[in-house]
Amino acid sequence: MLKNYFQTAWRNIIRSKGYSALNILGLAIGMAVTLLIGLWVYNEYSYDRFLPEYQQVYQVKSNYNMDGNPDTENSTPTKLAEVLRTEFPGIEYVSETDWFGDHGLKVADKKLFIDGGQVQSDFLKIFQFALLAGNANTVLKDPYSIVLTESTARALFGNEDPLSKTVRFDNKNDLKVTGILKDLPANSSFQVHYLVPFSYYEQITPWVKHMRSLPFGSGNAFQQFVKLKPGVSWAQIAPKIKDIEKRENDPNARTTEVILQPMKNWHLYTEYRSGREAGGFIEYVRLFGIIGLFVLAIACINFVNLTTARSEKRAREVGIRKAIGSERKDLVVQFLTESFVLVFLSFLLSIALVQLALPAFNILTKNQIHIPYSNGLFWLLMAGFLCVTALAAGSRPAFYLSSFQPVKVLKGALHVGKVATLPRKVLVVLQFSCSIALIISTMIVYQQIQHAKSRPTGYDLNRVMGTAMSEDLVHNFDALKNELIGKGIAQSVTMASAPATGINLHDDISNWPGKKAGQRMTLGVVWVRKDYFKTLGMQMAQGVDFDGIADKTTVILNEAAVKRLQLKQPLKQNLTYDTTRTIIGVVKDALMISPFEPADPTLFVYDYEPAPGVMMYRLSPQISTQEAIAKLGPIFNKYNPSVPFAYFFEDASYAAKFNMEMLVGNLSAVFAGLAILISCLGLFGLAAYMAEQRNKEIGIRKVLGASVSQIWLLLTRDFIFLVFISCLIASPIALYFLQGWLQKYDYRISIGPGVFVAAGTAAIVITLATISFQAIKAAIANPAETLKAE
């Protein structure tokens, strides 16, 4: 019997090749979109979960009071690590870390300038990354040791065994290779090329020793991670450490509470409000998961509509089968089998489509997703996906077709098309409502991005280049600056603790004019050298910059900082940050953090004691960018021989701030386009069937004098009306959710009626283009051919 079901299903597919092809293609595209999004969602959820015992790993974070509102920081008090290690028996390991950017590694003539981190000795016990060589208990014990990743070791030592050999670090000290880490997977929150013991950092950096000497409530500088003992839960530890700083009775304490974030949430939950997890990338993961289900639903609606629309073709078959003894359940199984065969063929095609789309999708999302062909769980999930889709697409046709009464069918008294019209229209409206909502979303995301891009930034980053500073560049900065300007390569050169498009430090100022008792104020802090504002094209609003007055007692505020401190006459006022400083100028606000938010209140301090940061230089207008890069390499290599010359463009760094919104916009556009394509495939099939069913009516109308345009209008007006209804449904739903999405941006657009009119017009034009071929084909047909049998 089962074999007969499959044979019958295959014959029906072959008999109606055109409609079968439309069904298979529409379902395949819908399943491909759902599968692609599913792989992406799985990849995002898999971050950090490959590590053994990841459930017991947490990051320690600080909530502190910022103008009466709790704000969450990754940095924690420097003395907290030792307290956690010694006073809480439920905590197995603690590691203090600092991810300190790029540093120079040199072996003979091989030079690298790559990022790494300083970590305490228990780091590899907390994070059990695969060690290809070395012991996790000992590799970080010696201060002058280094653990390399596999690819870094290969780049420095080739095929030689790197263990016990030395690496010149920052052209300053030789570190012995004590371990080799397997390259970290792409779905790891840690993406570093080497690890250096934190004890080395403490020995070479006096600043770290200074931080250790500060009271418990001060010196929030480093990140801390803990691993709980087996059997100990977050609920047992979190309440005990929450008020740990209050217990220390530090009058200078800035932390209101200490919290723990589980490792499984690091990638997806990056936003905090009122000191608690409040979302992050998880919102986009959920959004596109829902979009994937919508696209699959649209494809299933196509299947249902095309199958039920052609029900008259199968009515006599149902009647005869029932007349010779078939029961309804047998017919349901028969039609579900046909659905399963179609869905299975669609699934095979969808796998091929996903495989073809993955390279472009990976470039778009900056991921390394692949189809796990060798994973048994994947195929088990695909089997479930196949069955659910087959049931979703085939249930209504199966139960609908099997309900026909044989007496009515065989007497020709059944007019199936009219019975099925209302449900079919409802499904078409639902289908296009989803598609139009996606079109509206794509347009709003694009408008929001363009709105932020057109916002005045407060600086001019065109042809401003940056290079991360090494120890040699710091010491040779003045000579390098003079040579770049003297040779006409650079117009101006400066150095700062952070690039133009970022602020690496937020810190408290302890005193300022008008301060109230107990009030605390946190500002962004950037240490700069002379020509900083000139190089970045930032304009002074009041006073002078550091080119006029530059010593350790001067400071410049931006306009946002003046507003936050409520200074009416800021010039020549004193504030305290490390020491008493005099405000010599106010610079106009620049968007150094987010183009979607107000400018960050920032304090610019003259860097009278150079430290590694970023060197920035504006290219001379007399030299092309390509020529400048060619000349910069040899000059930098002269002053910085231990590190290969590397650079970045500050305007590209600013453009990268739109990456998330661009990703959302591009994915929305792709999926909206595919949703419309699937909907149009269904419309094309329905239009073809309706034209076929009404060919005699059309012939009679033409004999009676109907024009081609009248026939075209007759066949298209019902579809246009359905799409219009879809616009009315989709617009308020899209408006509701998009207004909620825009609320996360301080600098945002207002949604006007134009976007809904444009989306509706586009949907109607696409609908007309889809069905007009079949309508015009029917309208220009020779009525003699359609009526010759009458």
Q: Which two tokens stand for residue 207?
A: 């600043």
Of 523 and 78, which is predicted with more confidence? 523
Shortest CA distance to 121 belongs to which of 141, 101, 105? 141
Query: What does the pLDDT read at residue 409?
Result: 56
- State the pLDDT at residue 98: 86
Query: Which of 405-419, 558-572, 652-666, 769-783 is the least confident region?
Result: 405-419
Is 558:588 a contact under the CB 8 Å cutoff? yes
On whether the CB atoms of residues 590 and 618 are closer than 8 A, the answer is no
For residue 95, what pLDDT is reported? Answer: 94
pLDDT for res 612: 66
Q: Residues with Cβ < 8 Å from 680, sequence gap 6 or more?
A: 766, 767, 770
Name residue 617's beta-bridge partners: 465, 493
Res 317: pLDDT: 65
Q: Give the DSSP H/E element, type plus range, for residue 787.
A: helix 783-787
CA distance 530 to 550: 8
Measured on CA atoms in the order 212, 218, 220, 226, is the torsion positive or negative? positive
pTM above 0.85, yes or no: no
First to last CA, the chain: 41
Q: Which class for 339: exposed (0-12), middle (13-18), buried (19 or more C-beta within 10 A)?
A: buried
pLDDT band at 509 (very low <50, low <70, confident <90, very high): confident
Other CB atoms within 10 A of residue 13 CB: 18
What count of Cα atoms within 13 Å lies in the side-chain half-sphere of residue 5?
A: 16
45-64 mean pLDDT: 91
Query: For position 401, what pLDDT does the model report?
Result: 64
- Burial class, 259, CB count within 10 angstroms (exposed 0-12 / middle 13-18 / buried 19+): buried
Which residues, 6 or more positions from 365, have their beta carbon under 8 angstroms from its beta carbon? 40, 663, 667
Q: Determine which of 331-335, 385-389, 573-577, 721-725 has the lowest per-residue pLDDT on average.
A: 331-335
User: Does the structure show a pLDDT above 90 at 154?
Assistant: yes
Which range is least confidently modeled, 38-52, 66-80, 266-280, 373-387? 66-80
Question: What's the whole-number mean pLDDT along residues 33-49?
Answer: 92
pLDDT of residue 102: 82
Which of 14-23, 143-152, 305-314 is predicted with the least confidence, judged by mean pLDDT?
305-314
Report the run of H or E that residue 576 belongs to, with start and end: strand 574-577
Please report the beta strands in 336-485, taking only residues with DSSP state E, as ranges in sequence order: 464-468
Instruction: Note whether 725 and 429 are within 8 A (CB).
Output: yes
Helix (H) or strand (E) holding 585: strand 579-587
Averaged pLDDT, 314-322: 64
Q: What is the pLDDT of residue 625?
A: 94
d(CA 510, CA 603): 13
Greatest CA separation found in the chain?
103
Instruction: Name which of 454, 292, 447, 455 is nearest 758 in CA terms.
Output: 447
CA distance 223 to 76: 6
Closest by CA position to 742, among listed 480, 463, 452: 452
What pLDDT sits at residue 14? 73
Does position 471 have pLDDT exceeding 90, yes or no? no
Q: What is the DSSP string of 180-230?
A: EEPPPPTT-S---SEEEEHHHHHHH-HHHHHHHHS-TTS-EEEEEEEEEPT
Find the helix or strand (DSSP H, E) in which 126 lies: helix 123-126
State the pLDDT at residue 325.
Answer: 63
Band (320; pLDDT cuts 50, 70, 90)? low
Average model confidence (pLDDT) across the chain: 85
CA 593-597-602 angle, 5° bins:
50
Average pLDDT, stretch 429-436? 88
Strands 110-115 and 102-107 come out as antiparallel
3-state SS, 671-716, equals HHHHHHHHHHHHHHHHHHHHHHHCHHHHHHHHHCCCCHHHHHHHHH
Could you tell me if 679 and 149 are in contact, meaning their C-beta atoms sit under 8 angstroms apart? Answer: no
Ranking 138-152, 271-285, 601-615 by mean pLDDT, the lowest is 601-615
Count of alpha carbons within 13 Å of 90, Cβ hemisphere only? 14
Q: What is the pLDDT of residue 139?
A: 94
Q: What is the mean pLDDT of residues 239-247?
A: 78
Averaged pLDDT, 565-589:
91
Average pLDDT over residues 107-123: 91
The answer to whether the CB of 485 falls within 8 A of the CB of 779 is: no
What's the pLDDT at 609? Answer: 58
pLDDT higher than threshold 80 for residue 670: yes
The yes-or-no verdict on residue 195 having pLDDT over 90 is yes
Angle ∠(598,604,609) on CA atoms, nearest 5: 150
674, 441 Cβ separation under 8 angstroms: no
pLDDT, mean of residues 715-725: 87
Higher pLDDT, 79 or 182: 182
Mean local confidence (pLDDT), 559-572: 92
Q: Looking at 172-181, 517-526, 605-614, 619-628, which range is the least confident one?
A: 605-614
pLDDT at 600: 92
When pLDDT is cut at 50, 70 and 90, the band that residue 407 belongs to is low
Confidence of residue 660 (pLDDT cuts 50, 70, 90): confident
Q: Look at residue 145 and tell me whether its pLDDT is greater than 60.
A: yes
State the sign of the Cα–Cα–Cα–Cα dihedral 140, 144, 145, 148.
positive
**DSSP for 324-345?**
TT--HHHHHHHHHHHHHHHHHH
Backbone torsions φ then ψ of 568, nearest 5 degrees: -80, -40
Q: 398: pLDDT confidence band, cut at 50, 70 and 90?
A: low
Place of tokens 């962004």: 524
Tokens of 341: 């065969």
Contact of 539 with 586, CB cutoff 8 Å = no
List the single range of 17-21, 123-127, 244-248, 664-668 with lowest mean pLDDT. Answer: 244-248
CA distances from 459 to 277, 465, 539 (A): 34, 14, 8
Q: Quickly state the pLDDT bin for 66 (edges 50, 70, 90).
A: low
Helix (H, G, I), strand (E, B) or coil at 626: helix
8 Å CB contact between 94 and 297: no
pLDDT above 70: residue 122 = yes
pLDDT band at 6 (very low <50, low <70, confident <90, very high): low
Least confident interval from 308-317, 340-349, 652-661: 308-317
Q: What pLDDT band is residue 768 in, cutting at 50, 70 and 90?
A: confident
Helix locations, 502-584, DSSP H? 532-536, 559-565
Closest CA to 547 of 565, 561, 534, 564: 534
The predicted pLDDT at position 387 comes to 87
Cβ neighbourhood burial of 440 (10 Å; 0-12, 13-18, 19+) = buried
Q: How sure is the predictor about 784, in pLDDT bands with cuts at 50, 70 and 90?
A: low
Rg (CA), the chain: 34
Q: What angle do CA 735, 739, 744 make, to 5 degrees?
A: 155
Q: What is the pLDDT of residue 729?
A: 94
CA–CA dist 258, 298 (Å, integer): 48
As a whole number of angstroms, the distance between CA 612 and CA 467 comes to 11
Report the pLDDT value the prediction gives residue 213, as an integer from 0 to 100. 67
Residue 424's pLDDT band (boundaries 50, 70, 90)? confident
Instruction: Name the burial class of residue 15, with classes exposed (0-12), middle (13-18) and buried (19+) by CB atoms within 10 angstroms of its CB.
Output: exposed
Q: At what angle do helices 17-45 and 2-15 cross, to 10 degrees?
A: 110
Residue 414 or 550, more confident: 550
Q: What percent of the chain has pLDDT over 90?
A: 41
State residue 107 phi and psi, 5-degree precision: -135, 110
Query: Tokens 């349901």 map to which residue?
Result: 332
Q: Give the model's pLDDT for residue 500.
A: 93
